[in-house]
Structure 1
């Protein structure tokens, strides 16, 4: 297969392609490359002259056979956040650039998180339910709570990831104290972010809202355990838009049942809670079906980012969203 423009393989179906590329993004892609839809189940039949593979959330893991079948491959551009589950365990040459749309996916997650923080400190979930139960006026409902509002409240961010940093940036206009726990965050970076770096244990003890933005790694699984949950302030809120397995769900449910804290949970483990999980019905829980990340028109950001990465690759300039192999052991 030959073409005046480089061949870019799209490793997902037409339905996902339409989600990622709107008319404008599709036109920009066509100006740069010849897009060819393929199935990566095997390495057979792949165009040997392909220089670019575009992957997405539906794409299965790249195999060594697929990589070997494309000797001219120079860029794997992922139209999603985490790329780790798609890369082969070996056989990926160092001269193949990898990019992801983690920065683009971070935007709606950060927006969701900021909304959750501001609503949680205002105790919107509880006030709405109390209003419905009491059918009373404002004074009756507000009188049930000693602490209400966002003025001079403390927000703890677990992880100075792309999302964690964006949340901190979006919260700057508010009268909040921001504290962050992240072993890789330097004091200089913390100062630049406008946050205070503290230990994870201190963060759980001090924060009115704890928001999780850490990757799921062997040493972060169940990092939010019973000890840390029980150390939270009475009435504090735990927000999880990261990975469900960061939290010991049994310990969380126990604390929620006794009314110690409230929670905004967008990610669980398993991804859909068991049918009899108390998370479905507890009054101090806002449970959503993993909606914080990009969806609908927000996915067009990913398409625009993919074309920007391809454009930079073809021009020989720094590729936006580039992910390096030595980063994979500590990113989501």
Structure 2
């Protein structure tokens, strides 16, 4: 009786920016990859044009990509005839791949679900700080520099108790933010043109129009993808609808907001903002937003950074194990789903 044929492990290459694989994959997850795959090189490809890169692509079945990966166009696919899986250890892959990948029936997965966790946590923290009027109280305290006994004398409506909070976009991150808001006794309004009222209610929110949400909520958090239909959806008119002293939180994409109109409102001092993304990114050195006391401006750090990156790597290793075992991917992408990503 003849022995069954020996099936070699799929050959795996990495392709992303200057981060080494240790930043994305723990030692235990690297061991899992080595158990199921043959690692072509532990040094990530940072380009696909050189002869050395093309030689490695020709020997690759699984390509693990990440931030800083070059675009995978038709010429790259031609150089990688055995490629069967692109596993992106980051969020959106819209900038990375196109129809040619799906036409070749190459499987695609990404770690957007893992990246959603820190973004949602950041958004929750910003919402709680906004409801508590932390930025305003910081200004007052810095100006007066004395005990203000706010807990006894303050008669405003600071706090989260039944505060109206607006969520724009029931995206993957938007839904996770809604989950995190459940224990906090807030009244949640939601705008998402792709959703019905019944589904919104199941998520713990009341579905409303965008103008109503902007007018009614003291705190508004953006979680919509950047599409032709959502570019500058928060324009001068929508910003003008916000109440005096309201807070806008943007951890999604800078292009959702008319930057010129937002800057005018913030420079006037009428609104507050937590901005992790802007248009452009980064802002010019002379932008007043860097110094305004009513603005928290951060350099796109809401997503996975530091040790949070290894959560992304863990998801990708899980996906590769499923793929090698012939099981369905849990986070597979199609060309259609790609159009709705951030």
Shorter-chain TM-score: which interval?
over 0.9
Secondary structure at 1:191's aligned position in 2? helix
Q: Is the 8 A contact 2:102 2:334 kept in 1?
A: no
Q: Is the 8 A contact 2:29 2:317 kept in 1?
A: yes
Q: Please, which of 247, 250, 274 is the counterpart of residue 240 of structure 1?
A: 250
When normalised by structure 2's length, the TM-score is: 0.91
Q: Please, which of 6, 9, 13 is the counterpart of residue 9 of structure 1?
A: 13
- What is the CA–CA distance in structure 2 between the aligned matches of 1:311 and 1:264, rounded to whole Å? 39
State yes or no: 1:100 paired with 2:110: yes
* Residue number in structure 2 paired with 1:137: 147
* Residue number in structure 2 paired with 1:81: 91
Secondary structure at 2:269's aligned position in 1? coil
State yes or no: 1:211 paired with 2:218: no
- What is the CA–CA distance in structure 2 between the aligned matches of 1:141 and 1:257, rounded to whole Å? 29
Matches within 5 A, 1:22-33: 22-33=26-37
Q: Is the 8 A contact 1:308 1:320 kept in 2?
A: no
Label 1:107 to 1:91 Cα distance change in 2 as closer, same or farther (>3 A): closer
- What is the CA–CA distance in structure 2 between the aligned matches of 1:181 and 1:247, rounded to whole Å? 15
- What is the CA–CA distance in structure 2 between the aligned matches of 1:47 and 1:263, rounded to whole Å? 45
Range that drifts further, 214-223 or 302-311: 214-223
Q: Is the 8 A contact 1:25 1:304 kept in 2?
A: yes
- What is the CA–CA distance in structure 2 between the aligned matches of 1:212 and 1:140, rounded to whole Å? 30
Q: Is the 8 A contact 1:8 1:34 kept in 2?
A: yes
Q: Please, which of 323, 338, 341 is the counterpart of residue 313 of structure 1?
A: 323
Shift of 1:89: 5.1
Q: Is the 8 A contact 2:249 2:273 kept in 1?
A: yes
- What is the CA–CA distance in structure 1 between the aligned matches of 2:59 and 2:301, rounded to whole Å? 38
- What is the CA–CA distance in structure 2 between the aligned matches of 1:206 and 1:16, rounded to whole Å? 47
- What is the CA–CA distance in structure 1 between the aligned matches of 2:155 and 2:245, rounded to whole Å? 10
State yes or no: 1:287 paired with 2:297: yes
- What is the CA–CA distance in structure 2 between the aligned matches of 1:179 and 1:102, rounded to whole Å? 25
State yes or no: 1:18 paired with 2:22: yes
* Residue number in structure 2 paired with 1:187: 197
* Residue number in structure 2 paired with 1:109: 119
Secondary structure at 1:218's aligned position in 2? coil
Shift of 1:116: 0.4
Label 1:94 to 1:328 Cα distance change in 2 as closer, same or farther (>3 A): same
Shift of 1:134: 0.4
- What is the CA–CA distance in structure 2 between the aligned matches of 1:110 and 1:284, rounded to whole Å? 22
- What is the CA–CA distance in structure 1 between the aligned matches of 2:217 and 2:106, rounded to whole Å? 43
Q: How many residue pairs are counted as aligned between the two chains?
A: 331
Shift of 1:48: 3.7
State yes or no: 1:149 paired with 2:164: no
Unaligned runs of 5+ in 2: 1-5
Residues 11-30 of structure 1: CA deviation (Å, up to 9, x unaligned): 13673312101212111111
- What is the CA–CA distance in structure 2 between the aligned matches of 1:244 and 1:35, rounded to whole Å? 38
Shift of 1:200: 1.2
Q: Is the 8 A contact 2:123 2:177 kept in 1?
A: yes
Residues 126-152 of structure 1: CA deviation (Å, up to 9, x unaligned): 212211210122336985772210000
Secondary structure at 1:99's aligned position in 2? strand
- What is the CA–CA distance in structure 1 between the aligned matches of 2:135 and 2:18, rounded to whole Å? 40
The runs of at least 4 aligned residues of structure 1 exceeding 6 Å deviation read none
Secondary structure at 1:157's aligned position in 2? strand
Label 1:214 to 1:21 Cα distance change in 2 as closer, same or farther (>3 A): same
- What is the CA–CA distance in structure 2 between the aligned matches of 1:210 and 1:135, rounded to whole Å? 30
* Residue number in structure 2 paired with 1:220: 230
- What is the CA–CA distance in structure 2 between the aligned matches of 1:248 and 1:14, rounded to whole Å? 33
- What is the CA–CA distance in structure 2 between the aligned matches of 1:92 and 1:44, rounded to whole Å? 21
* Residue number in structure 2 paired with 1:123: 133
Secondary structure at 2:313's aligned position in 1? helix
